[in-house]
Amino acid sequence: MSEETTSGMRPLDGVRVLDAATFIAGPYCACILGEFGADVIKIEQPGAGDSMRNFGTPTPRVSSEGGRGDTLVWLSEARNKRSITLDLRHPKGAELFRRLTEMSDVVCENFRPGTMEKWGLGYEALAAVNPGLVMLRVTGYGQDGPYKDRPGFARIAHAVGGLTYLSGEPDGPPVVPGSTSLADYMSGMYGAIGVMMALKSRDKTGKGQFVDLALYESIFRALDEIAPAYAMTGFVRERLGAATVNVCPHSHYQTGDGHWVAIACTNDKMFARLAKVMGRPELADPDRFGTIDTRYPAREEVDGIVGDWTGARTRDEVMRACMEGEVPCGPINSIADIFADPQFKARGNLVPIQVPGVGEVVVPGVLPRLSETPGRIDNLGPPLGDANDAVYRGLLGLGDDDIAALKADKVI
């Protein structure tokens, strides 16, 4: 283990982030930065706090007016942050934010285009007080274009970006791709990439910039060849259920004990291995299904053969046979399966954290894993305004009278 690792050094130590975003996408970017050392100050509305405090499964800890109890979503996704209360809509609140911006490196926001400008907190105004500022701006549709003023959420991004159209059975309606906010998390990751590139550029030029990201774009970017295929041939990919285009067998198959497995044969060699594992090597003959050109048109027949084989065996038997034959195969895990899976345990993918007033909370671990300067979880989502004194007195040097006046005016 290196000296840097043992000393606890992280790559973003010394970077300060103002997280003025709400819900998941922008805050998730700030969360990633915080895991790798950035000092993340979460800006929340006085009294109510961030809406994510009330989204998801409630816990016994209540730290906002009328709240259900800071939820598990909040505790997990607001990790490694300090909370301050500040009303950006109030002129005094906007001035305090500008002062904080002067001593910060990054601002994350996800209001509709023009909102920050209305408060005097747009990129140009903030860059005037801090030319090196990097500003992440996440919205449903980006800062320009005919849809820029429309509200956006992950479900809408899945639909507009093209993923929902592809999700579901061929003869059924389009479905949400899992009950998750995938677009928010993907946009948070793209946002973190953008912020890091902008900080790297600032190291060379001294000048900051803003990162403009739309939720639907993160989804659209992940749809492999769908765009060039349509442009070249006019092909419109339809819903295929568990199957996929171009390769076969590449689907989900039920086992005899009621479980499901995923099998992926992405080339002819892999199919030949599967045919051997199934005890039917002749299936890989050139005059049968030995090439993708013969397999794919007969996808239903091939999938049926594989399904019959898995259906006559338990999940463990299927997994064992595929692993011995070097066929890519994995169990379709529920969250209960994941908690019992030794791979997740070995990789530290599930991290238990003690939270005062709540008890033990298990959250996903830090990604990605760095060999020399790894990230870590210092704390889960903070109580509302837990850093008010540290920030307003410590960073900005406000006195008792100043803070009392700001509270009276409901600025903080």
Kindly state the helix (H) or strand (E) to which residue 33 belongs, with its residue range: helix 25-35
What's the DSSP call for residue 111? P
What's the DSSP call for residue 199? H
- Residue 336: other Cβ atoms inside 10 A: 8
Kindly state the helix (H) or strand (E) to which residue 362 belongs, with its residue range: strand 359-364
Give the residue among 91, 144, 143 at the shortest CA–CA distance from 121.
91
Whole-angstrom distance between the N-terminal and C-terminal Cα of the chain? 45
Give me the catalytic one of 19, 50, 70, 184.
184
Q: Cis omega before residue 368 (within 30°)?
A: yes
Tokens found for residue 28? 């998730």
Q: How far apart are CA 358 and CA 69, in angstroms?
A: 10
Q: Cis omega before residue 228 (within 30°)?
A: no
Q: Are strands 209-214 and 39-44 parallel, antiparallel or unpaired?
A: unpaired
Tokens found for residue 239? 């819903």
Q: How far apart are CA 252 and CA 317, in angstroms?
A: 16
Amino acid sitting at position 225: E
> Does residue 341 have an active-site annotation?
no
Which residues are CB-contacts of 59 (< 8 A; sequence separation ≥ 6)?
Answer: 69, 70, 71, 72, 75, 355, 357, 358, 361
Residues carrying an active site annotation? 184
